[in-house]
């Protein structure tokens, strides 16, 4: 477990000053997207418009339909940029009866609020179809991503993530790949060039299986998810298989703890992972902007819905992830 630093009287005083200064952080005028432009998969690297590798660090919002719903706003996006130095955020459209299936307008509005705020803040944003069963209703994803591509496809900020985590009981060849090809075709009808990230078998771990039978598209990466308490070198070995074949990977979600969101913060394992991500110039988003009572949530229930969080509003995992993201350079040479 990562040691927890108790907030000092001084820190509490500073937080009070900060809190009184502004209700919502002001949106910055320029940033990471202005510097690197539309991202592109170039063999095993994600590069900017100048052809140089870009390695982003940021945070994923939690499922849009539950505890995380209150955080889907510009205040939080701006706070993640200003205070966490995030270069990317991930809007996780929850697809289940309580989410997009049952309340499509409400959940889509949350996600587009984050997308619009990310564009205004000059951040990259993943539009994440956060579903374990996406192949069972491909027509829904096709319609949603068609709309997103028409609305946002001209913006360099946008990255499409079309299947969060396929489960282990389906196959790449028969279930995931045919679904992905349908959704990709729908996106490409309106947006020929923005990066698309495809989920891989077994909760986006089997990048070796997906890249053995790759999808043909000019700008594609494969999802690699890890939870540091559960996944170690054997998963990095799978990643190396895909990278050595010349395919780009994107860590659209990772956690400090066990794969079920519990356990402690496994700091040594996170460090091994971050060394690996740095070495291979990979981008990553920490799970999650959430105040659910589990280790992976970055927030405590005291956290304000619009950002301006003090140390005491963060969970141990949140404090740990914040330090890591603040110290990450998008330029892999630094
Ligand atoms: Mg485009």
Q: How far is the CA of 150 from the centre of ligand 1 (A)?
A: 9
Bridging pattern class, strands 196-198 and 220-227: parallel
CA 134, CA 96: separation in Å to the nearest integer?
10
Q: What is the Cα 230 distance to its own chain's centre?
A: 19
Q: Is 253 a catalytic residue?
A: yes
**pLDDT mean over 35-46:** 98
Predicted confidence (pLDDT) per residue in 137-185, tens digit: 999 999 999 999 999 999 999 999 999 999 988 999 999 999 999 999 9
CA atoms within 13 A of residue 140's CA, in its CB half-sphere? 19
> In the structure encoding, which two tokens stand for residue 57, read together?
């660090």
Burial 233-249 (b: 16+ CB within 10 A, else e): eebbebbbebbeeebbb
Predicted confidence (pLDDT) per residue in 108-125, tens digit: 999 999 999 999 999 999
**Residue 29 in this model has a pLDDT that exceeds 70:** no
**Residue 11 in this model has a pLDDT that exceeds 70:** no
How sure is the predictor about 333, in pLDDT bands with cuts at 50, 70 and 90?
low
Q: How far is the CA of 47 from the centre of ligand 1 (A)?
A: 15
pLDDT for residue 331: 81
- On average, the pLDDT of the chain sits at 92
Contact 296, 317 (CB under 8 A): yes
Q: How far is the CA of 192 from the centre of ligand 1 (A)?
A: 6
Q: How far is the CA of 188 from the centre of ligand 1 (A)?
A: 9
CA 38, CA 247: separation in Å to the nearest integer?
18
Of these residues, 253, 272, 279, 294, which one is catalytic? 253
Q: How far is the CA of 41 from the centre of ligand 1 (A)?
A: 14
Q: How far is the CA of 195 from the centre of ligand 1 (A)?
A: 8
Q: How many helices (H) and strands (E) does the chain have?
A: 11, 10
**pLDDT mean over 193-205:** 98
How sure is the predictor about 6, in pLDDT bands with cuts at 50, 70 and 90?
very low
pLDDT for residue 84: 98
To 5 degrees, how large is the angle CA 99–CA 102–CA 103?
70
CA 148, CA 96: separation in Å to the nearest integer?
19
**Residue 272 in this model has a pLDDT that exceeds 60:** yes
Domains and CATH numbers, the chain: 35-326 (3.20.20.80)
> In the structure encoding, which two tokens stand for residue 7, read together?
């907030």
Q: How far is the CA of 127 from the centre of ligand 1 (A)?
A: 14
**Residue 23 in this model has a pLDDT that exceeds 80:** no
- The DSSP line for 128-146 is EEE-S-GGG-HHHHHHHHH
**Residue 3 in this model has a pLDDT that exceeds 90:** no
Q: How far is the CA of 151 from the centre of ligand 1 (A)?
A: 10
**Residue 321 in this model has a pLDDT that exceeds 60:** yes
Contact 162, 184 (CB under 8 A): yes
Of these residues, 106, 147, 161, 165, which one is catalytic? 165
Bridging pattern class, strands 40-42 and 196-198: unpaired
**Residue 323 in this model has a pLDDT that exceeds 60:** yes
Q: What is the gyration radius of the CA atoms in the chain, in angstroms?
A: 19
Residue 320, SS3 per DSSP:
helix
Instruction: Average the pLDDT over each of 25-34, 99-108, 164-173, 246-255 and give the range with the smallest value.
Output: 25-34
């Amino acid at each position: 477990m990562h040691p927890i630093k108790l907030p000092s009287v001084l820190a509490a005083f500073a937080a009070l000053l900060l809190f009184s200064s502004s209700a919502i952080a002001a949106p910055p005028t320029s940033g990471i997207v202005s510097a690197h432009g539309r991202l592109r998969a170039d063999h095993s690297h994600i590069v900017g418009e100048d052809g140089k590798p870009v390695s982003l660090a940021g945070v994923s919002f939690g499922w849009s339909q539950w505890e995380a719903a209150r955080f889907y706003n510009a205040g939080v996006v701006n706070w993640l940029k200003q205070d966490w130095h995030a270069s990317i955020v991930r809007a996780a459209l929850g697809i289940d009866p309580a989410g997009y299936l049952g309340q499509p307008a409400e959940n889509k509005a949350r996600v587009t609020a984050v997308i619009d705020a990310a564009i205004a803040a000059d951040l990259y944003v993943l539009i994440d179809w956060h579903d374990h069963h996406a192949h069972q209703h491909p027509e829904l994803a096709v319609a949603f991503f068609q709309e997103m591509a028409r609305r946002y496809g001209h913006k360099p900020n946008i990255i499409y993530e079309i299947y969060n985590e396929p489960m282990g009981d389906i196959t790449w060849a028969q279930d995931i790949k045919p679904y992905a090809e349908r959704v990709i075709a729908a996106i490409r009808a309106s947006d020929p060039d923005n990066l698309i990230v495809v989920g891989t078998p077994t909760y986006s771990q089997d990048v070796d299986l997906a890249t053995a039978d790759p999808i043909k598209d000019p700008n594609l990466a494969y999802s690699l998810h890890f939870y540091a308490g559960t996944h170690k070198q054997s998963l990095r070995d799978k990643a190396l298989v895909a990278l050595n074949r010349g395919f780009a990977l994107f860590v659209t979600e990772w956690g400090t703890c066990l794969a079920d969101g519990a356990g402690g913060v496994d700091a040594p394992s996170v460090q091994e992972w971050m060394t690996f991500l740095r070495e291979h110039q990979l981008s990553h988003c920490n799970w999650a902007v959430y105040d659910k009572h589990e280790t992976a949530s970055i927030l405590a229930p005291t956290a304000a819905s619009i950002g301006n969080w003090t140390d005491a509003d963060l969970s141990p995992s949140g404090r740990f992830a914040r330090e890591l993201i603040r110290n990450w350079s998008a330029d892999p040479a630094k």
